[in-house]
Amino acid sequence: MDNKDSVEFNEKEEVRHNVAHIDDAARRAERKLRNKIDLFVVPTVTLLYLMCFIDRSNIGNARLAGFEKDLTLKGFDYNTVLSVFYVSYILFEIPATLCCKLIGPGWFLPLTTFGFGAMSVATAFVHTRAQACAVRFLLGIFEAGVMPGSAYYLSRWYRRSELTFRLGLWMTMAPLSGAFGGLMASGILKLKSFGSLHGWQMIFAIEGIITMVLSLIAFVTLTDRPETARWMSEEEKELAINRVKSERLAQPVLLDKVDAKKLKRGFSNPITLATASIFLLDNITVLGISFFLPTIIKAIYPGRTTVQQQLLTVPPYIVGAGCTVILTTLSWRLNTRQILIVLTGPLVVIGYAIFLGTMNANVRYAAVFLSASTAFSLGAMTNAQVSANANSDSARNIAIGTNAMFGYVGGLISTWTYLPGDAPRYSVGNGINLGCAAAWTAIAIGALFWMKYDNKKREEREVGAHEELAGLTRKEIQDLEWKHPGWRWKL
């Protein structure tokens, strides 16, 4: 090697070394920022969602403590009270999600949390079925935007690969709410009274007051978006915006204004609709567990005390939370969601098959763990999947809202899966849940193969992509969303 070649070689090596050094420094800066966002953003929405689920499902604990008896509910009255909540929830789901975008999550989430906390307190004072239905209807209005609003809020801060794990931490509050709810209910019921309230009334009142206090704290701690974060420097704000915006195809800004064309694309997105269908089927199971697990435990162990029955509801929820963390961690590290969604169904199928096949108390209790294991993780997985496969902020907002709306159609169905005349085997309820798990597995497999097939087709026609975009304005190109020739489905 002559001197000239030696000089060129050394210069190239120096350039490579400098580039590697810059890349390493950029990765360290982004990792530091991500950790900071984790600390300031995730805890608040996680606590709010925990109380959201507790205030929704504590009626199951109240039922064991005499709610049904004191209100003289008979036959299907309890199921009717449960159903009313989902009627308002479904009707207000998408309007609430759009409202979250319009006024900003930093204001919307604390306000709506204060509202559903107040409705929980109000439930402590109902004396008739009509009053209970009225309060549950209002509870559904206030809770409608919490789940999609929180998922949409987190999507403003994280890359696609990172979002699933953060949604997983947030969604562990669904199963943990069952655990905390059972523990809190058993603790509260040991009190003689809370003011003039007794028994099940104390459950609603105390848990509602805790919710309202947390909502007031959230007004201070919840930062609306990166630009308004007082705890970030200007350089960190720019990095927070650019790293998320870099994944948005042909979108000049991270947070756009509400756009009708993009909203339509987000709603009609085939992966949004397929994933939302999976979440609908999953929620029949998850919310069936949330509302009826105390009832199921009572049927399995009728001789136990009320407090013992409440405590037996706790371990299955902890298993569900653990499985959610494991699956979403795998999703983050492998940067995939669809395959893991496919894998959630089989354990649930086995659990409900055992329920149908035996009346042995201990075996049936073990089956509860299988049924609750992977089902809870789909809240995080499906929201992350529709978010990953929606391009602009408007499309992502409506896609997450659509997923949540479908999910709570499943919630409405779940309120009628366990009926009094079906006890103690509950063949109908367990059979419905077995079928749901099998069906969402089939849909997930079909969607996986379709995405791979469509991505391959898009690769083949990539040569003509420029011709497809020729003659379109910049705004028309931005509005293409998943119809853009450069778009690829995210598995």
Give the tokens for residue 181: 């709810």
pLDDT, average across residues 22-35: 78
What does 120-131 look like in DSSP terms, one character per residue? HHHHTT--SHHH
Query: Could you tell me what percent of the chain has a pLDDT over 90?
Result: 14
pLDDT, average across residues 358-378: 84
- Report whether pLDDT(25) > 70: yes
Q: Sorting pLDDT into bands at 50, 70 and 90, what band is 316?
A: confident
Per residue in 410-429, pLDDT tens?
878 887 887 777 777 778 88
Query: Could you tell me what percent of the chain has a pLDDT over 70?
Result: 90
pLDDT, average across residues 2-18: 50
Give domain status of residue 472, yes or no: yes
DSSP label of 429: H
- Report whether pLDDT(7) > 70: no
Q: Sorting pLDDT into bands at 50, 70 and 90, what band is 66?
A: confident
Partners of 194 in beta bridges: 197
Do residues 337 and 380 make contact, with C-beta atoms less than 8 angstroms apart?
no
**Phi, psi for 276 (deg, rounded to 5):** -65, -35
| Cα–Cα distance measured from residue 45 to residue 382, given in angstroms and rounded to the nearest whole number | 18
Give domain status of residue 440, yes or no: yes
- Report whether pLDDT(199) > 60: yes
Give domain status of residue 490, yes or no: no
170-184, 211-225, 314-328: range with highest mean pLDDT: 211-225
Do residues 309 and 368 make contact, with C-beta atoms less than 8 angstroms apart?
no
Domain with 322 in it: 3-459+468-483
Per residue in 68-79, pLDDT tens?
888 888 888 888
Do residues 99 and 44 make contact, with C-beta atoms less than 8 angstroms apart?
no
- Report whether pLDDT(9) > 60: no
Give domain status of residue 129, yes or no: yes
Q: Sorting pLDDT into bands at 50, 70 and 90, what band is 196?
A: confident
- Report whether pLDDT(190) > 70: yes
| Cα–Cα distance measured from residue 145 to residue 113, given in angstroms and rounded to the nearest whole number | 10
Q: How many domains does the chain have?
A: 1
What's the Cα-to-Cα distance from 450 to each of 189, 269, 391, 466, 488, rounded to whole Å? 52, 13, 19, 25, 12
Single out the residue of 284, 485, 286, 482 nearest to residue 390, CA to CA. 482
Residue 489's pLDDT is: 86
- Report whether pLDDT(341) > 80: yes
| Cα–Cα distance measured from residue 396 to residue 383, given in angstroms and rounded to the nearest whole number | 10
CATH number at residue 138: 1.20.1250.20
| Cα–Cα distance measured from residue 113 to residue 215, given in angstroms and rounded to the nearest whole number | 6
Residue 17's pLDDT is: 44
Give domain status of residue 280, yes or no: yes
| Cα–Cα distance measured from residue 288 to residue 282, given in angstroms and rounded to the nearest whole number | 10
- Report whether pLDDT(173) > 70: yes
Residue 278's pLDDT is: 93
Neighbours of 435 (CB within 10 A): 14
Give domain status of residue 489, yes or no: no
Single out the residue of 207, 423, 202 nearest to residue 294, CA to CA. 423
Partners of 197 in beta bridges: 194
- Helical axes 160-171 vs 378-388, angle rounded to 10°: 150
Give domain status of residue 90, yes or no: yes
Tell me the whole-structure pTM to 2 decimals: 0.76
What's the Cα-to-Cα distance from 51 to each of 175, 307, 455, rounded to whole Å? 12, 21, 41
Give domain status of residue 488, yes or no: no
Residue 254's pLDDT is: 64
Higher pLDDT, 189 or 144: 144
What's the Cα-to-Cα distance from 433 to each of 148, 179, 183, 273, 409, rounded to whole Å? 24, 21, 26, 21, 15
Q: Sorting pLDDT into bands at 50, 70 and 90, what band is 203?
A: confident
**Phi, psi for 194 (deg, rounded to 5):** -130, 95
What's the Cα-to-Cα distance from 436 to each of 237, 394, 439, rounded to whole Å? 43, 31, 5
What does 440-488 look like in DSSP terms, one character per residue? HHHHHHHHHHHHHHHHHHHHHTGGGHHHHHTT--HHHHHTTGGGSTT--
By mean pLDDT, which of 17-21, 47-51, 275-279, 311-315 is the weakest? 17-21
